[in-house]
Amino acid sequence: MRHSIRLLALVLLVAPGVAVAQVELSRVVVGGGATAASGATFGVQGTIGQSVVGEVSGGAGAICQGFWCGGGPPTGGAVSIVIDTPRGVRFLGPPASGLTVDDLAAQNLVRGVPGYYPAASPANLETTYDPVAGAWVPSSGTGEVLALGRAFRWRFYDHANGNPDISQSVPLPFTLTTDLPANTADVVLDLDTGGNRFTFLANPFGTALDLTGIGDWPGGDNLSPNAPVWVYDPVAQTWDDAPASVSPWVAFRVRAKGPPVSGQPRTLTIPASASVSALRAPVAARTEDVTSPALAVSPAASPRLAFTLDGTAADGRPLADRAFTVVFEEDARAGFDEAEDAEKLQVPADTYAMIGARHAGASGEHAFVGYDVRPFAAAEISLAVETRGAAADLTLRWDAAALPAGLPVTLVDLVTGAEIDVRSRSEVAFQVAPRPSLDEVPLHEIADIESAAERFVLRIGASAASSADEVREVSLSPVVPNPSAGLVRVAFAVPEAGRVRLAVYDVRGREVAVLADGEVAAGRHETLLDGTALAAGVYVVRLEAGGHRLTRQAVVMR
C-alpha cells in the first residue's frame, strides 16, 4: 500500500481530552485503487478527497475508475466504488473480511457513534437492521467489525455538515476503497423472519454478484417465493425491484418466509459461484451500478405487470420509480396480505417520485403497496402517486409482455377519464401539482399512503369498452378509491337512454355535489368526485335512473 501525504496542520482540540488531526492531502494512492485531489480537509477520519480516477495494479499504465480495469478481476489491488452525487443515503457492504468502522471513518465522515463525534445527531452510520422495529440501529463505533455479507447504511453529506471546523465530510464524488484481500468464499447468513421479514444483505466479493439465480442459491427456498430483490439506486433515487447484478460494495434487500415450525433459523448462502469474476466488469463500479431485469423467481412462473415512473427533479436531474409490480398467482388473496404483498419502500432522499397501489387491510387500515400479488380475478386497484421536489411532468410506463394471456387490463386516468388498454400502449404522460423537496431525508422504511394522491385505477378483468347491450339493469359501482383524499371515480350503468341524477350527500342529508343531471345514452358511464372540495367524513353517493334509486358510501380523509 502506497501513501503520499503532506501534513499541514496537526492538533485541534475538539473537547477536553479529545484530539483531532487535521491534514491536507496533496495526493493519496490507496492500494492502487484511488487517487485523491489536494485540498481535502477532514477530522480524525482522514479522507481520500475527490477521488474519481483510480490506478489499478496489474496492467502497464492502466488507468480506470473504480475497482476494475479491463476484462479480468483485480490482482492484488484495491476493491473500490465511486460514491457519486447526489448526497444522501447509501446501502453498502464490505467486500473483504476484517473491514471496520474505523476503515470507513478514515475515508469519509462518520458521526454520532462512539469514537466519532458521538454528540452529533443523527448518527450517519448504521450497521444493524431491526425488522421488528423496521429501523436501522447506529454503529457501536470505533473497533466494530463489519459483517461480511451484511449491509450497512451510511449517509453522505457533500462536504459541509455540522461544525465545519471539525466535521466536514468529503466532497462528492469520492472513492470508497479497501486494500484488504477480497473475499472469495461462500458466505452463510441467517435471514430475519420476524417483523417485516426484510434482511439487508450485500455483495461479499470483489467482483460483481449475479442475482438472477438467487432462488436457487443454498437456502433460496427460505425466501418469500413471490418477493423480489430490491436494490437502491441513489442517482435516480428509487428502489429497483428487478436487479440482475450488483457491483462490489453494493447492498440488496430480500424478504424471508416466516419463522419455521422447527424453530431453526432460516439461512441463505451467497455462493462464490454467483460472483461473476469470469465476466467483463464495469469500468467503474458506482453505487448506481445495477443491471436489470431479474426476479427472485423465474418470470415464467409469475405473470406480472411491471411499472416504471419517470420524471425530473426541479434542477433537471432524472428521477424514477422502478419498484411497482403487480404479480398474478392462482392462490393469491385479493386484498392486502402481509405474507404475500410488500408495502411501498420509502425512498431515503429529499427528492423523489413514487407510485404504488392503495389497498385496505383486514382491519380497515390502508397500505401503500409496491409489490402486489393477486389472483386471476376481476378487480379495480387504486394507484397513488407521491412526488417531492419533482417537476410537474411525469411518464408512467409498463411492460405487458408477461401479462396472463386473455386477461383484460385497463388503466383509467382519474383526471382525464381516459381508458388505456395496457396491451395496446406502453406509456402515458401526465402532470401532477409540484411539491417542494423535504427538509430532511426520510429515514423510515415504509412509505406513507397518506402522503400520496390517487391518480389512476388499474381495472383487471374488464375490457376498456363495454357495449350497451351488456348492460341489463341500472347499477352503481363502488366508488374508487375509498377512502380517498383526492379524486374519486364514480361509475354507473343504465340499460336504456334516459334521465339520470347522480348526487352526493353528507350525513345530514344535505346535497354537497351533483355529478350528473340530465339525459345519458344507454351503457356504462364514469364521472369524478373531487374529494379535496369536501370536509373529511362519510358521504352517500346516490343514483336516480329509470325509476331506481341506488346508493354507495364514500369516505373522505385528510
Say yes or no: 165 and 122 in one domain. yes
pLDDT score for 286: 54
Say yes or no: 253 and 157 in one domain. yes
pLDDT score for 404: 80
Say yes or no: 531 and 413 in one domain. no
Mean pLDDT on 151-162: 82
- Poorest-pLDDT segment among 97-101, 180-184, 190-194, 298-302: 298-302
Q: How many CA atoms lie within 13 A of 329 on its CB side?
A: 19
- Poorest-pLDDT segment among 16-25, 367-376, 485-494: 16-25
Mean pLDDT on 324-332: 89
Mean pLDDT on 256-275: 94
Say yes or no: 87 and 77 in one domain. yes
Residue appearing with cell numbers 385528510? 558
Q: Which of 465, 500, 534 is the last residue of a domain?
A: 465
pLDDT score for 364: 58
Asked whether the beta carbons of 441 and 155 are under 8 A apart, the reply is yes
Number of neighbours of residue 69 by Cβ within 10 angstroms = 21
More confident residue, 48 or 552: 552
CA 5 remoteness from chain centre: 40
Say yes or no: 228 and 340 in one domain. no
User: Into how many domains does the chain fold?
Assistant: 3
Q: Which of 461, 466, 444 is nearest to 130 (CA)?
A: 444
pLDDT tens-place string over residues 200-210: 999 999 999 99
Distances from the Cα of 519 to the Cαs of 417, 468, 516, in angstroms?
Answer: 19, 15, 9
**What residue type is assigned to position 282 of the chain?**
P
Residue 372 has pLDDT above 50, yes or no: yes
pLDDT score for 47: 26
pLDDT tens-place string over residues 456-490: 989 888 644 444 456 788 999 888 777 887 888 88
Distances from the Cα of 543 to the Cαs of 332, 445, 505, in angstroms?
Answer: 34, 42, 11
Name the average pLDDT for the chain. Answer: 80
More confident residue, 11 or 341: 341
**Structural domain of 515:** 468-556
Burial of 68 per CB tally in 10 Å (0-12, 13-18, 19+)? buried
Residue 51 DSSP one-character state: -
Q: Is the peptide bond before 173 cis (omega within 30 degrees of 0)?
A: yes
164 pLDDT band, cuts 50/70/90, is: low
**Rounded distance between C-alpha atoms, residue 249 and residue 225, angstroms:** 26
Asked whether the beta carbons of 302 and 280 are under 8 A apart, the reply is no
Say yes or no: 203 and 104 in one domain. yes
Burial of 345 per CB tally in 10 Å (0-12, 13-18, 19+)? buried
**pTM of this prediction exceeds 0.75:** no
Q: Which of 166, 137, 169, 165 is nearest to 156 (CA)?
A: 169
Instruction: Determine, yes or no, domain membership for 36.
Output: no
